[in-house]
Amino acid sequence: MDKLVVHGGRPLTGTLHVGGSKNTALPLMAAAVLADGATTIHNIPVLQDVATFANVIRVTGCTVDWNPDDDPNTPESITIDASGIHHFEAPYDLVKKMRASFYMLGALLGRGGKARVSLPGGCAWGPRPVDLHIEGMKALGAEIREEGGYVIAEAPGGRLKGGRMRFEPVSVGATINVLLAAVTAEGETVLENTAAEPDVVVFGQMLQAMGAQIDGLGTDTITVQGVERMNPVEFTNCPDRIELGTYMIAAALATPPGETLTITGAQPEHLGPDFTERFRETGVPFEFDGDVVRVTGVETVRPVSVETAPYPGFATDLQAQWTVLMAQADGPSTVRDTVYTDRFKHVPELRRLGADLQVKGDTVEVAGRNGRPLSGATVMSTDLRASVSLVLAGMVAEGTTNVLRVYHLDRGYERIEHKLQGAGVDIAREQYDEAHAEGVPA
């Protein structure tokens, strides 16, 4: 198994490049299944999740052409030809690896009026039910039953009907999944309390390019007029806003005072106003210049409390990284997650490094630096964003930090050790024996 070994204290300088959005790439790939032909999507990140989802799509009879090279700064493209689709199933052995595979439910229903999709797996934290996804399909007329761990869905007569669905609570995944099914449903579909994240908007824009009739993207109500068929297209994925936020936090942590880290390939407006304002309150200077972001290091980071919320609020996918930043801030703060209220498995690992953190309900109380530097230790990744928070902490800890089980990290951060090495961080990937590694429970 792989681990990342981080020798702390090296300055983060130079340039980091933001890859394509992981949270958008997977829905775009699912959308390609709707078209009878070859769709090419550019700016696809080289991630394990992309490889996994490509295999999920191949099972259906689609062909997937994706051959990434070894350059972490070269945008990649993927071509999905869905003209040969014939097997309307997403099997357990693949879906269990990644929750986003459940998008195949909407994609297969939208394409062929039937689907057999395994209930999903994914990160090891918190309940994230798919009830809203299933209720949305039922609202479009799908007949659904669960059998042997699979969701089996059929559209009577072979095509779904337009309907109305209100998402409670708001859900990015359910909004995407129901849109996949609704664009080819007969008649009008109205979706209320829909997610407004850039991931959803860009995904919807690709559906529009394929011929879908959609109004209201980026608002809380989306209206769809169903079309009979979708067309293959060529489309470019947006940059990853969570990767951008992570790099801005990394710069605030590890870029020397007065020096600047340059982040390229970004789309800063996708961060949302809440993150931007909270970052400004830390006293860390930054500027947006087109697709370039510049962050200048400071002596002292001011403590700033945050509360996650659906977009345009502070992203839950950035709360673990923000917790590390606040652990180095000059004073106490709180980090509250109202989206996933138990997403704190990184906290015990950060405490192993010396961070003064206490979890109380849906909130982490952060004491701040208080003159106590972090110290290197062996820590274990538990999910995607938790794992990158451990890397950030290791960058500023004294000594060596071993971050185990980085397969979580590989799901969402494109070749991150190569990017950080290029910006001065002493980090390397090594193999280790899981059965005898310090810090791994027996």
Residue 372: per-residue pLDDT: 82
Name the segment(s) of the chain with CATH classification 3.65.10.10: 2-19+239-436, 22-236
Q: Is 69 annotated as a binding residue?
A: no
The architecture CATH gives domain 22-236: Alpha-beta prism (3.65)
How far is 86 from 111, CA to CA, in rounded Å? 10
Pair of tokens at residue 298? 């400071």
Q: Is 91 annotated as a binding residue?
A: no
Residue 19: per-residue pLDDT: 94
Residue 124: per-residue pLDDT: 42
Q: Is 36 annotated as a binding residue?
A: no
Q: Is 22 annotated as a binding residue?
A: yes
Task: Please name the amino acid found at residue 202.
Answer: V
Q: Is 58 annotated as a binding residue?
A: no
**Which residues lie closer than 8 Å to 348 by C-beta, 6 or more apart?**
none
Q: Is 342 annotated as a binding residue?
A: no
User: Per DSSP, what are the bridge partners of residue 145?
Assistant: 152
E strand segments, 282-415: 286-289, 292-296, 306-307, 333-336, 357-360, 363-366, 378-380, 400-404
Residue 440: per-residue pLDDT: 63
In angstroms, how far is the first alpha carbon of the chain from the final one?
16
CB 299 within 8 A of CB 257: yes
| 238 counts as catalytic | no
Residue 123: per-residue pLDDT: 43
Residue 232: per-residue pLDDT: 98
Q: Which residue has the tokens 């590989």?
A: 410
For every residue of 153-193, DSSP letters joined together read: EE-GGGS-B--EEE-SS--HHHHHHHHHHHTTSBSEEEEES
For every residue of 36-67, DSSP letters joined together read: SSEEEEEEE---HHHHHHHHHHHHTT-EEE--
Q: Is 43 annotated as a binding residue?
A: no
pTM summary value? 0.94
291: helix, coil or strand? coil
Burial of 419 (0-12, 13-18, 19+ CB in 10 A): buried
Pair of tokens at residue 423? 């910006």
E strand or H helix at 350: helix 346-352
Residue 72: per-residue pLDDT: 62
Among candidates 84, 122, 125, which has minimal Cα distance to 103? Answer: 122
**Average pLDDT along the chain, 442 residues, taken 10 residues at a time:** 96 96 97 98 94 96 91 82 97 88 97 95 52 96 94 97 96 97 98 97 98 98 98 98 97 98 98 98 98 98 97 96 98 96 93 97 95 92 91 98 94 91 97 78 52
CB 48 within 8 A of CB 410: yes
How far is 102 from 162, CA to CA, in rounded Å? 21
How far is 134 from 141, CA to CA, in rounded Å? 11
Report the topology of domain 2-19+239-436. Answer: UDP-n-acetylglucosamine1-carboxyvinyl-transferase; Chain (3.65.10)
Catalytically annotated residue among 78, 115, 123, 325:
123
E strand or H helix at 25: helix 22-32
Sheet containing strand 234-236, edge to edge, reads 63-65, 76-81, 38-44, 234-236
Residue 441: per-residue pLDDT: 53
Q: Is 128 annotated as a binding residue?
A: yes
